[in-house]
Structure 1
Amino acid sequence: MATGTHSQIDWLGWLRRWDAQQEGYVPEREARFDTMFEAMAELLPASFVAIDLACGPGSISQRLLTRFPEARAIAVDIDPVMLAIGRGAVGTFDGRLRWVEADLAQPDWPAALGETQVDAVLSATALHWLWPEPLTAVYRDLGRLVRPGGLVLNADHLAFGPAAPNSARLSQRVLDEQWTDAAFAARGIETAEQWWEALSAEPAFASLLAERTARFAGKQRQESPPGFDVHVAALRAAGFREVETIWQILSNRVLLAVR
Protein backbone atom coordinates (compact mmCIF):
# COMPACT_ATOMS: atom_id res chain seq x y z
CA MET A 1 0.00 0.00 0.00
CA ALA A 2 1.24 3.49 -0.76
CA THR A 3 2.45 5.74 2.02
CA GLY A 4 2.63 9.45 2.67
CA THR A 5 0.49 11.63 0.42
CA HIS A 6 -0.56 8.62 -1.62
CA SER A 7 -2.05 6.97 1.48
CA GLN A 8 -4.87 9.53 1.24
CA ILE A 9 -5.98 8.21 -2.16
CA ASP A 10 -9.12 6.10 -2.45
CA TRP A 11 -7.48 3.52 -4.70
CA LEU A 12 -10.46 1.20 -4.83
CA GLY A 13 -12.81 4.07 -5.64
CA TRP A 14 -10.66 5.14 -8.58
CA LEU A 15 -10.50 1.58 -9.86
CA ARG A 16 -14.28 1.28 -9.70
CA ARG A 17 -14.67 4.56 -11.58
CA TRP A 18 -12.16 3.35 -14.17
CA ASP A 19 -14.09 0.12 -14.71
CA ALA A 20 -17.36 2.04 -15.02
CA GLN A 21 -16.10 4.44 -17.70
CA GLN A 22 -14.38 1.62 -19.59
CA GLU A 23 -17.70 -0.23 -19.68
CA GLY A 24 -19.16 2.90 -21.24
CA TYR A 25 -16.92 2.30 -24.26
CA VAL A 26 -17.37 -1.48 -24.20
CA PRO A 27 -20.76 -2.40 -22.70
CA GLU A 28 -19.89 -6.07 -23.34
CA ARG A 29 -16.64 -5.78 -21.37
CA GLU A 30 -17.52 -8.44 -18.79
CA ALA A 31 -18.66 -10.79 -21.55
CA ARG A 32 -15.23 -10.38 -23.14
CA PHE A 33 -13.51 -11.27 -19.87
CA ASP A 34 -15.79 -14.26 -19.33
CA THR A 35 -15.03 -15.55 -22.83
CA MET A 36 -11.29 -15.28 -22.21
CA PHE A 37 -11.56 -17.11 -18.90
CA GLU A 38 -13.75 -19.85 -20.35
CA ALA A 39 -11.07 -20.51 -22.97
CA MET A 40 -8.42 -20.70 -20.27
CA ALA A 41 -10.53 -23.03 -18.13
CA GLU A 42 -10.94 -25.36 -21.09
CA LEU A 43 -7.42 -25.24 -22.53
CA LEU A 44 -5.07 -24.75 -19.55
CA PRO A 45 -4.35 -26.73 -16.37
CA ALA A 46 -5.66 -25.39 -13.04
CA SER A 47 -2.22 -24.01 -12.15
CA PHE A 48 -0.75 -21.61 -14.69
CA VAL A 49 1.21 -18.37 -15.11
CA ALA A 50 -0.37 -15.54 -17.11
CA ILE A 51 0.74 -12.11 -18.28
CA ASP A 52 -1.78 -9.27 -18.09
CA LEU A 53 -0.33 -7.27 -20.98
CA ALA A 54 -0.79 -3.48 -20.93
CA CYS A 55 -2.72 -4.17 -17.75
CA GLY A 56 -3.92 -0.69 -16.78
CA PRO A 57 -5.07 -0.86 -13.14
CA GLY A 58 -5.35 -4.65 -13.25
CA SER A 59 -8.96 -5.24 -14.23
CA ILE A 60 -8.03 -8.54 -15.90
CA SER A 61 -5.66 -9.68 -13.15
CA GLN A 62 -8.20 -9.04 -10.42
CA ARG A 63 -10.87 -11.11 -12.16
CA LEU A 64 -8.49 -13.83 -13.35
CA LEU A 65 -6.95 -14.53 -9.93
CA THR A 66 -10.39 -14.60 -8.33
CA ARG A 67 -11.60 -17.08 -10.95
CA PHE A 68 -8.46 -19.27 -10.87
CA PRO A 69 -7.18 -19.69 -7.29
CA GLU A 70 -4.11 -21.71 -8.35
CA ALA A 71 -2.92 -19.22 -10.97
CA ARG A 72 -0.22 -16.56 -10.85
CA ALA A 73 -0.13 -13.36 -12.92
CA ILE A 74 2.31 -10.66 -13.97
CA ALA A 75 0.65 -7.31 -14.70
CA VAL A 76 2.69 -5.20 -17.14
CA ASP A 77 2.22 -1.55 -18.08
CA ILE A 78 4.15 1.65 -18.78
CA ASP A 79 1.67 4.00 -17.06
CA PRO A 80 2.68 4.89 -13.46
CA VAL A 81 -0.83 6.13 -12.63
CA MET A 82 -2.46 2.88 -13.74
CA LEU A 83 0.13 0.78 -11.92
CA ALA A 84 -0.25 2.80 -8.72
CA ILE A 85 -4.03 2.40 -8.75
CA GLY A 86 -3.64 -1.32 -9.41
CA ARG A 87 -1.12 -1.83 -6.64
CA GLY A 88 -3.22 0.20 -4.23
CA ALA A 89 -6.63 -1.29 -5.09
CA VAL A 90 -5.80 -4.86 -6.13
CA GLY A 91 -2.56 -5.52 -4.27
CA THR A 92 -0.63 -8.77 -4.70
CA PHE A 93 -3.34 -11.40 -4.14
CA ASP A 94 -1.23 -12.99 -1.38
CA GLY A 95 1.85 -13.00 -3.59
CA ARG A 96 0.15 -14.39 -6.70
CA LEU A 97 0.28 -11.07 -8.56
CA ARG A 98 3.37 -9.07 -9.50
CA TRP A 99 3.31 -5.59 -11.03
CA VAL A 100 5.96 -4.76 -13.64
CA GLU A 101 6.77 -1.42 -15.25
CA ALA A 102 7.78 -1.85 -18.89
CA ASP A 103 7.31 -0.17 -22.26
CA LEU A 104 6.05 -2.68 -24.85
CA ALA A 105 7.42 -0.47 -27.61
CA GLN A 106 10.96 -1.14 -26.38
CA PRO A 107 12.69 -4.40 -27.37
CA ASP A 108 13.91 -5.17 -23.84
CA TRP A 109 10.48 -5.31 -22.18
CA PRO A 110 10.45 -9.13 -21.72
CA ALA A 111 13.55 -8.90 -19.51
CA ALA A 112 11.50 -7.12 -16.85
CA LEU A 113 9.06 -10.01 -16.45
CA GLY A 114 11.16 -12.30 -14.30
CA GLU A 115 9.77 -15.26 -16.28
CA THR A 116 11.25 -17.09 -19.26
CA GLN A 117 8.05 -18.95 -20.15
CA VAL A 118 4.36 -18.45 -19.42
CA ASP A 119 1.13 -20.32 -20.12
CA ALA A 120 -1.09 -17.44 -21.23
CA VAL A 121 -1.08 -13.78 -22.19
CA LEU A 122 -4.21 -11.64 -21.93
CA SER A 123 -4.84 -8.09 -23.05
CA ALA A 124 -7.97 -5.95 -23.41
CA THR A 125 -8.55 -2.57 -25.05
CA ALA A 126 -4.84 -1.81 -25.05
CA LEU A 127 -2.74 -3.10 -27.94
CA HIS A 128 -4.31 -0.60 -30.37
CA TRP A 129 -1.82 1.87 -28.86
CA LEU A 130 1.04 -0.02 -30.54
CA TRP A 131 2.04 0.94 -34.07
CA PRO A 132 2.43 -1.91 -36.59
CA GLU A 133 6.17 -2.49 -36.17
CA PRO A 134 6.24 -2.69 -32.34
CA LEU A 135 2.99 -4.68 -32.35
CA THR A 136 4.58 -7.26 -34.64
CA ALA A 137 7.67 -7.31 -32.42
CA VAL A 138 5.55 -7.89 -29.30
CA TYR A 139 3.85 -10.84 -30.94
CA ARG A 140 7.28 -12.25 -31.90
CA ASP A 141 8.31 -11.91 -28.25
CA LEU A 142 5.15 -13.71 -27.16
CA GLY A 143 5.95 -16.51 -29.61
CA ARG A 144 9.09 -17.12 -27.54
CA LEU A 145 7.51 -16.52 -24.11
CA VAL A 146 4.37 -18.63 -24.45
CA ARG A 147 4.96 -22.36 -24.02
CA PRO A 148 3.75 -24.79 -26.71
CA GLY A 149 0.02 -25.23 -26.16
CA GLY A 150 -0.19 -21.88 -24.38
CA LEU A 151 -2.55 -19.06 -25.28
CA VAL A 152 -2.70 -15.42 -26.28
CA LEU A 153 -6.11 -13.75 -25.82
CA ASN A 154 -6.64 -10.22 -27.07
CA ALA A 155 -9.96 -8.41 -26.58
CA ASP A 156 -10.20 -5.20 -28.57
CA HIS A 157 -11.87 -3.43 -31.45
CA LEU A 158 -9.98 -4.93 -34.39
CA ALA A 159 -11.11 -3.24 -37.57
CA PHE A 160 -12.35 -5.14 -40.60
CA GLY A 161 -9.93 -5.29 -43.51
CA PRO A 162 -10.35 -3.99 -47.07
CA ALA A 163 -12.20 -7.17 -48.09
CA ALA A 164 -15.12 -6.20 -45.81
CA PRO A 165 -15.86 -2.50 -46.46
CA ASN A 166 -19.56 -2.71 -45.58
CA SER A 167 -18.90 -4.43 -42.27
CA ALA A 168 -16.28 -1.79 -41.51
CA ARG A 169 -18.72 1.00 -42.30
CA LEU A 170 -21.46 -0.46 -40.12
CA SER A 171 -19.10 -1.08 -37.22
CA GLN A 172 -17.68 2.44 -37.34
CA ARG A 173 -21.14 4.01 -37.41
CA VAL A 174 -22.18 2.09 -34.29
CA LEU A 175 -19.02 3.12 -32.44
CA ASP A 176 -19.33 6.75 -33.50
CA GLU A 177 -22.84 6.85 -32.01
CA GLN A 178 -21.98 4.90 -28.88
CA TRP A 179 -18.85 6.87 -27.98
CA THR A 180 -20.17 10.45 -28.21
CA ASP A 181 -20.14 12.64 -25.10
CA ALA A 182 -23.93 12.91 -25.44
CA ALA A 183 -24.29 9.12 -25.38
CA PHE A 184 -22.20 8.90 -22.21
CA ALA A 185 -24.15 11.71 -20.57
CA ALA A 186 -27.45 10.02 -21.42
CA ARG A 187 -26.26 6.88 -19.64
CA GLY A 188 -24.82 8.79 -16.69
CA ILE A 189 -21.29 7.48 -17.34
CA GLU A 190 -17.99 9.36 -17.18
CA THR A 191 -15.95 9.59 -20.36
CA ALA A 192 -12.25 8.79 -20.23
CA GLU A 193 -11.51 12.50 -20.52
CA GLN A 194 -13.74 13.29 -17.54
CA TRP A 195 -12.12 10.50 -15.50
CA TRP A 196 -8.64 11.86 -16.15
CA GLU A 197 -9.79 15.42 -15.49
CA ALA A 198 -11.21 14.39 -12.10
CA LEU A 199 -8.06 12.49 -11.23
CA SER A 200 -5.88 15.46 -12.23
CA ALA A 201 -7.78 17.62 -9.74
CA GLU A 202 -6.53 15.43 -6.87
CA PRO A 203 -3.26 16.91 -5.47
CA ALA A 204 -2.12 13.49 -4.28
CA PHE A 205 -1.78 12.36 -7.91
CA ALA A 206 0.46 15.27 -8.97
CA SER A 207 3.78 13.42 -8.86
CA LEU A 208 2.37 10.34 -10.60
CA LEU A 209 0.83 12.47 -13.33
CA ALA A 210 4.13 14.30 -13.88
CA GLU A 211 5.89 10.96 -14.23
CA ARG A 212 3.20 9.79 -16.64
CA THR A 213 3.66 12.89 -18.81
CA ALA A 214 7.40 12.22 -18.98
CA ARG A 215 6.93 8.56 -19.92
CA PHE A 216 4.43 9.31 -22.68
CA ALA A 217 6.41 12.20 -24.18
CA GLY A 218 6.76 11.62 -27.89
CA LYS A 219 4.18 8.83 -28.05
CA GLN A 220 1.26 9.37 -30.40
CA ARG A 221 -2.07 7.60 -30.67
CA GLN A 222 -2.89 6.15 -34.07
CA GLU A 223 -5.95 7.32 -35.96
CA SER A 224 -6.21 3.90 -37.62
CA PRO A 225 -4.58 1.18 -35.49
CA PRO A 226 -3.60 -2.16 -37.07
CA GLY A 227 -6.76 -4.09 -37.88
CA PHE A 228 -7.82 -7.70 -37.55
CA ASP A 229 -5.88 -8.92 -40.59
CA VAL A 230 -2.63 -7.43 -39.26
CA HIS A 231 -3.02 -9.05 -35.84
CA VAL A 232 -3.79 -12.46 -37.33
CA ALA A 233 -0.84 -12.34 -39.75
CA ALA A 234 1.58 -11.20 -37.04
CA LEU A 235 0.47 -13.93 -34.63
CA ARG A 236 0.80 -16.64 -37.26
CA ALA A 237 4.24 -15.35 -38.26
CA ALA A 238 5.22 -15.49 -34.58
CA GLY A 239 4.51 -19.22 -34.48
CA PHE A 240 0.95 -19.43 -33.21
CA ARG A 241 -0.61 -22.39 -35.00
CA GLU A 242 -4.28 -21.53 -34.42
CA VAL A 243 -5.56 -17.94 -34.57
CA GLU A 244 -9.31 -17.44 -34.48
CA THR A 245 -12.04 -15.08 -33.29
CA ILE A 246 -13.92 -16.78 -30.43
CA TRP A 247 -16.32 -13.93 -29.59
CA GLN A 248 -17.46 -11.00 -31.71
CA ILE A 249 -19.90 -8.11 -32.05
CA LEU A 250 -18.96 -6.26 -35.25
CA SER A 251 -15.30 -5.19 -34.82
CA ASN A 252 -15.40 -5.86 -31.07
CA ARG A 253 -13.66 -9.23 -30.78
CA VAL A 254 -11.83 -11.69 -28.59
CA LEU A 255 -8.98 -13.17 -30.57
CA LEU A 256 -7.50 -16.52 -29.47
CA ALA A 257 -4.05 -17.65 -30.56
CA VAL A 258 -2.75 -21.09 -29.55
CA ARG A 259 1.00 -21.65 -29.51
Structure 2
Amino acid sequence: MASFDPHGHHDWHSQQYVEEWITSATARDPERRAILRRVAGLIPREADAAIRVLDVGAGYGALSAQVLDRFPKAELVCQDFSEPMFGQARERLAWASERLSFVHGDLSDPSWIQALTGPFDAVVSGIAIHNVRYPERIRGIYTEIFDVVAPGGCFLNYDLIFVSGPSAAHAYGHAAHLKDWIRGESDDATRAVDTATDGRASSRRNAVSLEEQLRWLREGGFREVECFWKEGQSAIIGGFRPL
Protein backbone atom coordinates (compact mmCIF):
# COMPACT_ATOMS: atom_id res chain seq x y z
CA MET A 1 0.00 0.00 0.00
CA ALA A 2 1.28 3.46 -0.86
CA SER A 3 2.37 5.75 1.93
CA PHE A 4 0.62 9.01 2.77
CA ASP A 5 4.02 10.14 4.07
CA PRO A 6 6.43 9.64 1.14
CA HIS A 7 9.49 10.48 3.24
CA GLY A 8 8.80 7.65 5.64
CA HIS A 9 8.52 9.79 8.76
CA HIS A 10 5.33 8.06 9.88
CA ASP A 11 3.84 4.57 9.63
CA TRP A 12 0.13 5.38 9.67
CA HIS A 13 -0.85 1.76 8.93
CA SER A 14 0.77 0.39 12.08
CA GLN A 15 -1.57 0.05 15.06
CA GLN A 16 1.32 0.25 17.50
CA TYR A 17 2.87 3.28 15.84
CA VAL A 18 -0.46 5.14 15.71
CA GLU A 19 -1.17 4.42 19.38
CA GLU A 20 2.29 5.68 20.37
CA TRP A 21 1.92 8.73 18.14
CA ILE A 22 -1.48 9.57 19.64
CA THR A 23 -0.09 9.24 23.17
CA SER A 24 2.49 11.89 22.27
CA ALA A 25 0.01 14.06 20.36
CA THR A 26 -2.67 14.09 23.06
CA ALA A 27 -0.12 15.47 25.50
CA ARG A 28 -0.27 18.64 23.37
CA ASP A 29 -4.07 18.66 23.13
CA PRO A 30 -4.60 21.18 25.96
CA GLU A 31 -2.46 23.82 24.22
CA ARG A 32 -3.91 23.03 20.80
CA ARG A 33 -7.54 22.90 21.91
CA ALA A 34 -7.94 26.67 21.80
CA ILE A 35 -6.57 26.71 18.24
CA LEU A 36 -8.90 23.91 17.14
CA ARG A 37 -11.82 25.78 18.68
CA ARG A 38 -10.73 28.85 16.76
CA VAL A 39 -10.92 26.84 13.52
CA ALA A 40 -14.43 25.63 14.37
CA GLY A 41 -15.44 29.14 15.38
CA LEU A 42 -14.32 30.57 12.05
CA ILE A 43 -16.99 28.59 10.18
CA PRO A 44 -19.46 31.40 9.37
CA ARG A 45 -22.66 29.63 10.34
CA GLU A 46 -24.96 29.88 13.35
CA ALA A 47 -24.37 27.26 16.03
CA ASP A 48 -27.76 25.61 15.40
CA ALA A 49 -27.20 25.31 11.64
CA ALA A 50 -27.55 21.84 10.11
CA ILE A 51 -24.35 21.98 8.08
CA ARG A 52 -22.17 19.37 6.38
CA VAL A 53 -18.46 19.47 7.23
CA LEU A 54 -15.50 17.53 5.88
CA ASP A 55 -12.41 17.03 8.06
CA VAL A 56 -9.43 16.28 5.81
CA GLY A 57 -6.81 14.09 7.48
CA ALA A 58 -9.07 13.81 10.51
CA GLY A 59 -6.75 11.49 12.44
CA TYR A 60 -8.07 10.60 15.87
CA GLY A 61 -10.73 13.30 15.67
CA ALA A 62 -9.35 16.21 17.69
CA LEU A 63 -10.59 18.89 15.28
CA SER A 64 -13.76 16.96 14.42
CA ALA A 65 -14.69 16.95 18.11
CA GLN A 66 -14.55 20.73 18.27
CA VAL A 67 -16.66 21.14 15.13
CA LEU A 68 -19.28 18.67 16.38
CA ASP A 69 -19.38 20.42 19.75
CA ARG A 70 -19.74 23.86 18.15
CA PHE A 71 -22.46 22.70 15.74
CA PRO A 72 -24.73 20.14 17.46
CA LYS A 73 -26.76 19.59 14.24
CA ALA A 74 -23.78 19.23 11.94
CA GLU A 75 -23.04 16.12 9.92
CA LEU A 76 -19.32 15.48 9.66
CA VAL A 77 -17.26 13.30 7.32
CA CYS A 78 -13.86 12.19 8.60
CA GLN A 79 -11.37 11.58 5.78
CA ASP A 80 -8.09 9.84 6.48
CA PHE A 81 -5.59 7.33 5.12
CA SER A 82 -5.13 5.30 8.30
CA GLU A 83 -7.51 2.61 9.49
CA PRO A 84 -5.90 2.62 12.97
CA MET A 85 -6.66 6.37 13.14
CA PHE A 86 -10.27 5.68 12.15
CA GLY A 87 -10.52 3.20 15.00
CA GLN A 88 -9.33 5.83 17.47
CA ALA A 89 -11.68 8.47 16.03
CA ARG A 90 -14.69 6.18 16.23
CA GLU A 91 -13.96 5.53 19.89
CA ARG A 92 -13.26 9.15 20.81
CA LEU A 93 -16.25 10.51 18.86
CA ALA A 94 -18.73 7.82 19.86
CA TRP A 95 -20.86 10.48 21.57
CA ALA A 96 -21.64 11.90 18.10
CA SER A 97 -21.63 8.65 16.11
CA GLU A 98 -25.04 9.30 14.50
CA ARG A 99 -23.65 12.43 12.86
CA LEU A 100 -20.39 10.86 11.67
CA SER A 101 -19.20 8.99 8.62
CA PHE A 102 -15.71 7.89 7.54
CA VAL A 103 -14.11 7.94 4.11
CA HIS A 104 -10.74 6.37 3.36
CA GLY A 105 -8.46 8.27 0.98
CA ASP A 106 -4.80 8.90 0.17
CA LEU A 107 -4.11 12.62 -0.25
CA SER A 108 -1.02 11.85 -2.31
CA ASP A 109 -3.34 10.47 -5.02
CA PRO A 110 -5.54 13.07 -6.79
CA SER A 111 -8.36 10.51 -6.98
CA TRP A 112 -8.91 10.74 -3.19
CA ILE A 113 -11.59 13.36 -3.74
CA GLN A 114 -13.70 11.00 -5.86
CA ALA A 115 -14.71 9.00 -2.78
CA LEU A 116 -16.41 12.06 -1.31
CA THR A 117 -19.92 13.27 -2.01
CA GLY A 118 -20.16 17.04 -1.76
CA PRO A 119 -20.98 19.74 -1.40
CA PHE A 120 -19.78 20.68 2.08
CA ASP A 121 -20.60 23.93 3.85
CA ALA A 122 -17.12 23.81 5.35
CA VAL A 123 -13.94 21.81 4.85
CA VAL A 124 -11.45 21.85 7.71
CA SER A 125 -8.09 20.26 8.35
CA GLY A 126 -5.74 20.19 11.33
CA ILE A 127 -2.00 19.43 11.20
CA ALA A 128 -2.42 16.97 8.35
CA ILE A 129 -1.88 18.23 4.80
CA HIS A 130 1.79 19.09 5.34
CA ASN A 131 2.47 15.33 5.63
CA VAL A 132 2.07 15.07 1.86
CA ARG A 133 5.46 16.88 1.74
CA TYR A 134 5.51 17.73 -1.96
CA PRO A 135 4.52 21.37 -2.61
CA GLU A 136 2.90 20.71 -5.97
CA ARG A 137 0.75 17.98 -4.46
CA ILE A 138 -0.38 20.27 -1.62
CA ARG A 139 -1.27 22.86 -4.25
CA GLY A 140 -3.36 20.22 -6.05
CA ILE A 141 -5.17 19.29 -2.83
CA TYR A 142 -6.32 22.89 -2.37
CA THR A 143 -7.84 22.87 -5.86
CA GLU A 144 -9.46 19.47 -5.28
CA ILE A 145 -10.98 20.67 -2.01
CA PHE A 146 -12.47 23.69 -3.78
CA ASP A 147 -14.51 21.34 -5.98
CA VAL A 148 -16.43 19.94 -2.99
CA VAL A 149 -17.03 23.24 -1.14
CA ALA A 150 -20.56 24.59 -1.48
CA PRO A 151 -21.04 28.09 -2.91
CA GLY A 152 -20.55 30.46 0.00
CA GLY A 153 -18.74 27.74 1.94
CA CYS A 154 -15.20 27.81 3.30
CA PHE A 155 -11.97 25.88 3.65
CA LEU A 156 -9.96 26.33 6.87
CA ASN A 157 -6.55 24.73 7.23
CA TYR A 158 -4.64 24.71 10.53
CA ASP A 159 -1.22 23.38 9.67
CA LEU A 160 2.54 23.73 9.92
CA ILE A 161 3.74 26.53 7.67
CA PHE A 162 7.42 26.98 8.30
CA VAL A 163 9.09 30.34 8.61
CA SER A 164 10.29 31.87 5.37
CA GLY A 165 13.99 32.04 6.19
CA PRO A 166 16.75 32.49 8.78
CA SER A 167 15.99 36.17 9.50
CA ALA A 168 12.37 35.41 10.37
CA ALA A 169 13.50 32.43 12.42
CA HIS A 170 15.95 34.62 14.30
CA ALA A 171 13.12 37.05 15.09
CA TYR A 172 11.11 34.18 16.58
CA GLY A 173 14.20 33.26 18.55
CA HIS A 174 14.29 36.75 20.02
CA ALA A 175 10.63 36.44 20.97
CA ALA A 176 11.46 33.21 22.79
CA HIS A 177 14.39 35.01 24.46
CA LEU A 178 12.03 37.69 25.79
CA LYS A 179 9.71 35.09 27.30
CA ASP A 180 12.65 33.36 28.97
CA TRP A 181 13.94 36.69 30.30
CA ILE A 182 10.55 37.53 31.81
CA ARG A 183 10.43 34.11 33.49
CA GLY A 184 14.03 34.49 34.66
CA GLU A 185 15.29 31.45 32.77
CA SER A 186 18.92 31.13 31.78
CA ASP A 187 20.51 32.53 28.63
CA ASP A 188 21.78 29.02 27.85
CA ALA A 189 18.18 27.84 27.45
CA THR A 190 17.42 30.84 25.24
CA ARG A 191 20.42 30.21 23.03
CA ALA A 192 19.28 26.62 22.62
CA VAL A 193 15.89 27.86 21.43
CA ASP A 194 17.53 30.32 19.02
CA THR A 195 19.82 27.67 17.60
CA ALA A 196 17.05 25.12 17.14
CA THR A 197 14.75 27.65 15.49
CA ASP A 198 17.47 28.93 13.15
CA GLY A 199 18.38 25.34 12.30
CA ARG A 200 14.82 24.44 11.38
CA ALA A 201 14.57 27.48 9.13
CA SER A 202 17.88 26.71 7.43
CA SER A 203 16.81 23.15 6.71
CA ARG A 204 13.51 24.39 5.26
CA ARG A 205 14.70 27.14 2.94
CA ASN A 206 12.90 25.39 0.09
CA ALA A 207 9.71 25.02 2.12
CA VAL A 208 6.58 26.71 0.89
CA SER A 209 6.02 30.19 2.27
CA LEU A 210 2.77 31.49 3.71
CA GLU A 211 2.45 33.85 0.75
CA GLU A 212 2.71 30.97 -1.71
CA GLN A 213 0.11 28.91 0.11
CA LEU A 214 -2.32 31.83 0.07
CA ARG A 215 -1.64 32.25 -3.65
CA TRP A 216 -2.40 28.56 -4.22
CA LEU A 217 -5.77 28.99 -2.52
CA ARG A 218 -6.60 31.89 -4.84
CA GLU A 219 -5.46 29.96 -7.89
CA GLY A 220 -7.61 27.05 -6.76
CA GLY A 221 -10.69 29.26 -6.93
CA PHE A 222 -11.06 30.51 -3.34
CA ARG A 223 -11.76 34.18 -2.67
CA GLU A 224 -11.33 36.37 0.40
CA VAL A 225 -8.26 34.30 1.19
CA GLU A 226 -6.85 34.98 4.65
CA CYS A 227 -4.28 34.02 7.22
CA PHE A 228 -6.62 34.01 10.20
CA TRP A 229 -3.93 33.28 12.80
CA LYS A 230 -0.21 32.58 12.91
CA GLU A 231 2.29 31.88 15.64
CA GLY A 232 5.75 30.55 14.92
CA GLN A 233 5.50 27.66 12.51
CA SER A 234 1.74 27.15 12.85
CA ALA A 235 -1.02 29.00 11.02
CA ILE A 236 -4.71 28.93 10.14
CA ILE A 237 -5.27 29.83 6.52
CA GLY A 238 -8.30 29.55 4.33
CA GLY A 239 -10.74 31.08 1.93
CA PHE A 240 -14.32 31.11 0.69
CA ARG A 241 -16.01 29.82 -2.42
CA PRO A 242 -17.97 32.58 -4.18
CA LEU A 243 -21.75 32.31 -4.26
- TM-score norm. by structure 2 comes to 0.70
Q: Which residue of 1 aligns with 2:240?
A: 258
Q: Does 1:60 align with 2:66?
A: no
Q: Which runs of 4+ in 1 moved over 4 A?
A: 13-16, 41-45, 172-175
Q: Distance in 2 between matches of 1:110 and 1:68?
A: 24
SS in 2 for 1:161: coil
Q: Distance in 1 between matches of 2:147 and 2:103?
A: 19
SS in 2 for 1:160: coil
**Is the 8 Å Cα contact of residues 15 and 85 (structure 1) preserved in structure 2?**
no
The correspondence for 2:118, drawn from 104, 116, 119, is 116
Q: Which residue of 2 aligns with 1:227?
A: 209
**Is the 8 Å Cα contact of residues 167 and 250 (structure 1) preserved in structure 2?**
no
Q: Does 1:134 align with 2:137?
A: yes
**Is the 8 Å Cα contact of residues 146 and 221 (structure 2) preserved in structure 1?**
yes
**Is the 8 Å Cα contact of residues 243 and 258 (structure 1) preserved in structure 2?**
yes
For residue 172 of structure 1, report the CA deviation from its aligned partner.
7.0
Q: Which residue of 2 aligns with 1:193?
A: none
Q: Which residue of 1 aligns with 2:27?
A: 21
Matched pairs, number: 195
- Looking at both structures, which has the greater relative contact order when contacts are Cα pairs under 8 Å and sequence separation is at least 6? 1
SS in 2 for 1:56: coil
Distance 1:129 1:19, change over 3 A: closer
Distance 1:171 1:55, change over 3 A: farther
Instruction: Name structure 1 gaps, 5 residues minimum.
Output: 1-8, 176-222
Alignment of 1:1-259 (within 5 A): 17=23, 19-23=25-29, 28-41=31-44, 46-91=49-94, 93-113=96-116, 115-130=117-132, 131-161=134-164, 165-171=166-172, 224=204, 225-259=207-241
**Is the 8 Å Cα contact of residues 160 and 229 (structure 1) preserved in structure 2?**
no
**Is the 8 Å Cα contact of residues 118 and 148 (structure 2) preserved in structure 1?**
yes
SS in 2 for 1:140: helix
Distance 1:78 1:16, change over 3 A: closer
Distance 1:60 1:112, change over 3 A: same
- TM-score norm. by structure 1 comes to 0.66
SS in 1 for 2:60: coil
For residue 141 of structure 1, report the CA deviation from its aligned partner.
0.7
For residue 226 of structure 1, report the CA deviation from its aligned partner.
2.9
**Is the 8 Å Cα contact of residues 15 and 86 (structure 1) preserved in structure 2?**
no
| Cα deviation code 1:126-183 (max 9, x no counterpart) | 1111211211111111121111211111112212335xx52233447889xxxxxxxx
Q: Which residue of 1 aligns with 2:181?
A: none
Q: Which residue of 2 aligns with 1:179?
A: none
For residue 18 of structure 1, report the CA deviation from its aligned partner.
5.4
Supply the AA of the counterpart residue of 1:233. R
For residue 45 of structure 1, report the CA deviation from its aligned partner.
7.5
**Is the 8 Å Cα contact of residues 163 and 233 (structure 2) preserved in structure 1?**
yes
For residue 74 of structure 1, report the CA deviation from its aligned partner.
0.6
| Cα deviation code 1:91-148 (max 9, x no counterpart) | 37242111111101111111212x1311111111111112112111111111211112
Percent of residue pairs bearing the same amino acid type: 28
